Structure 1
Amino acid sequence: MQLSYWELKNWFTNVDFTIVGSGIVGLHTALALRERFPKAKILILEKGILPQGASTKNAGFACFGSISEIVDDLKNHTEEEVLQLIQKRYAGLQLLRKNVGDQVLDFKPFGGYELFLKEDEALYEKCLQKIPFINEIIKPLFKTDVFSKEVDRFNFGNIFEYLIFNPFEAQIDTGNMMQALLKKAHENDILILNSQTVTSYQEGSTNVEVIANGITFKTNKLLFTTNGFASKLTNNQVQPARAQVLLTKPIPNLDIKGTFHLDQGYYYFRNINDRILLGGARNLDFEAETTTSHDTSTLIQNRLEELLKTVILPNQDFEIEHRWSGTMGVGNHKNPIIEQLSNHVYCGVRLGGMGVAIGSIVGQELADLV
């Protein structure tokens, strides 16, 4: 494509920072760079019409890990690492609230619950037993006990009597969040170009030559914030993980309020405008769900519907109105990758399904690294 003089001058000349990806991480990186470098030219390239990964496709959970997730994390991470993960997630949520504001986020601190299916008795007993221990190791962060037992008052089906409650969880409006961040970026003279796929780049001694949609330009620094899509251009150990979601039509007299977790975080649901939003089930077929496709699959959608019928809404009729999926970035460790790849190239990726919680702080740390 041949660009005009004006297009070249205003968008692709004297670029200081080019950020690939306009999700939570990319926008927070850009805003943090703008604070540090008031006169820099900052360009964000986004391959979708909207952020292509999970930033506008997630369930809107302001959470830092259910108790079964934390118990599972302790199998592969030290106590100190797990505490640091929770600390980073919680700090990230506070930064997001500060940057966007609770009113805009439609922040609803209803608390979070974990429920356990009758066939998961061993996990249920283990998590009940671990409550005092988990509360003790995270008490320095929250100054009080976080997890407690509560009798199920929602009339769920096929579960054990007690839910595990966490008062520090909340719901947010993902669409409001991203609109506010995009607006803030525009107000701070951050250039955003959509439908721009970066196909390659070549690093020189003083800058990086970037090719996107056949357009070639130079930038002083190149930053990848593409999370689940990162491995294509950065060679990082980040795997895409598709998260599938469904949404019911409005349900009269719906008496479910909060954020809910099931099976070590592989299932999650919440109320929204008298509807139930339910997602997850990628553990049914990890190999097939290691994809950047935004299709949905019959296997997983059927399982989600089955959970609605037998567990979440066992005594109510419902209809499905909408289905979608998003792409997360996962790996063999829950810590995000925030690193300098070469002299002028950086990345902030692998958010491990916790993008809402840690996206803001990953963006801040990436900008600090630059």
Structure 2
Amino acid sequence: MQLSYWEIKNWFSNVDFTIVGSGIVGLHCAIELRERFPESKILILEKGILPQGASTKNAGFACFGSLSELIDDLKTHSEEEVIQLVQKRWTGLQLLRKRLGDAVLDFKPYGGYELFLQDDDATYSECLQKMPFLNEILKPLFKADVFSKEVDRFAFANIKEYSFFNPFEAQIDTGNMMQALLKEATSKDILILNQAEVSSYTDKNDSVELVVNDYSFNTKKLLFATNGFASQLTNNEVKPARAQVLITEPIANLDIKGTFHLDKGYYYFRNFEDRILLGGGRNLDFEGETTTNLSQTEKIQNKLEDLLKNVILPNQEFQIAHRWSGIMGIGAHKNPIVSQLSNNVYCGVRLGGMGVAIGSLIGKELADLV
């Protein structure tokens, strides 16, 4: 990559902070750094035309964990860890709303529902049994019961009569959120370069030498906000997890409003205006979906269409308008990794599929490490 003198002078000289990744975490981190260091030079590098992982590709769920997900988490995490996870996600959502405003986010507090297929007796019974306990440990945070049992009123098919309702869950417009964050960053004199892929870096104690598209430059501090792609450069225990999604054409008289979870959160759907957006299916092929490839697979797409036809929109005509995939960052532990890797290198990664909820807080915590 051959650069002009002007390009080197204005973009790649005297850089104070370089952030890799222009998603939710990277942008919040940059904005926080600007507030703390108003005179600094801040550069964000993004390897895609748009944020490459999940920030512009997620389903727009403002959620913090369904009842069955949290019960599952209690099997591998302590009670205190689960409470802290929910608290971080809830705090992150409030930070996001405060920064951008509900009107910009198209924030709709319709609530969230967890549905259970007719033959899913074991998970349903476990949720019924443990709901009072979850409500009890979450009450200090929400000042009310989070989960309640409700009769399904949406005419879904092949599911149990009762679902679990969470009034604190909402939905947002993912595209609006990311456009607003990008606009705020550029308005604060934060430089964003797209299609700029980092291949290596060397911490030289007084600065970091960074190689981008075969060009090298120095930055005082380097911060990774690459989530599902983190293991490629940071050697962190983060696995990529592909999430496949589809959205229908508009459906006349659609009476479904809210965010919905199925099968311990492995499937999720919502209305967007008068369309249904549906994603998930990673549990059909964990090994195959541990990938950074953004394509779709016939096996999972067929299952999503089957759910549309036989559960979500029974006896109703629909057409698929569009399909896509995003890359999440997961690991054995649900807690995000926010850490210092060397003298001048830091990372905020492994958001566990909760980027909308926790991304703004992780961006702030990453900036706080500097």
TM-score with structure 2 setting the length: 0.99
Matches within 5 A, 1:185-334: 185-334=185-334
Displacement of 1:314 after TM fit?
1.0
Distance in 1 of aligned mates of 2:152 and 2:296: 31
Instruction: Give % identity.
Output: 75
Displacement of 1:130 after TM fit?
1.1
SS in 2 for 1:25: helix
Aligned residue number for residue 43 of structure 2: 43
The code of the aligned residue for 1:21 comes to G
Displacement of 1:2 after TM fit?
1.6
Aligned residue number for residue 169 of structure 1: 169
Distance in 1 of aligned mates of 2:202 and 2:82: 38
The code of the aligned residue for 1:280 comes to G
The code of the aligned residue for 2:59 comes to A
The code of the aligned residue for 2:192 comes to I
Aligned residue number for residue 342 of structure 2: 342
Q: When the two structures are aligned, how many residues end up with a matched partner? A: 370
SS in 2 for 1:209: strand
Displacement of 1:131 after TM fit?
1.1
SS in 2 for 1:22: coil
* 1:19 is the counterpart of 2:27: no
Residue deviations 1:285-324, cap 9 Å, x none? 0000000000000000000000011110112111111000
Aligned residue number for residue 364 of structure 1: 364
Which ranges of structure 1 fall in alignment gaps of 5 or more residues?
none
Displacement of 1:277 after TM fit?
0.2
SS in 2 for 1:306: helix
Displacement of 1:205 after TM fit?
2.1
Distance in 2 of aligned mates of 1:88 and 1:69: 16
Displacement of 1:153 after TM fit?
0.4
Distance in 2 of aligned mates of 1:128 and 1:159: 15
The code of the aligned residue for 1:336 comes to P
Aligned residue number for residue 66 of structure 1: 66
Instruction: Report runs of 4+ in structure 1 exceeding 2 Å deviation.
Output: none
* 1:148 is the counterpart of 2:145: no
Residue deviations 1:172-212, cap 9 Å, x none? 00000000000000010000000000000111120000000
Residue deviations 1:320-341, cap 9 Å, x none? 1100000000000000000000
Aligned residue number for residue 178 of structure 2: 178
Displacement of 1:364 after TM fit?
0.2
Distance in 1 of aligned mates of 2:311 and 2:318: 13
Distance in 2 of aligned mates of 1:234 and 1:187: 30
The code of the aligned residue for 2:276 comes to I
Distance in 1 of aligned mates of 2:186 and 2:141: 35
TM-score with structure 1 setting the length: 0.99
Residue deviations 1:263-300, cap 9 Å, x none? 11100000012110000010000000000000000000
Distance in 2 of aligned mates of 1:273 and 1:132: 34
Distance in 1 of aligned mates of 2:16 and 2:269: 42
The code of the aligned residue for 1:167 comes to P
Distance in 2 of aligned mates of 1:204 and 1:44: 20
Displacement of 1:366 after TM fit?
0.5
Displacement of 1:215 after TM fit?
1.2
Which ranges of structure 2 fall in alignment gaps of 5 or more residues?
none
SS in 1 for 2:31: helix
The code of the aligned residue for 2:181 comes to L
Distance in 2 of aligned mates of 1:199 and 1:25: 20
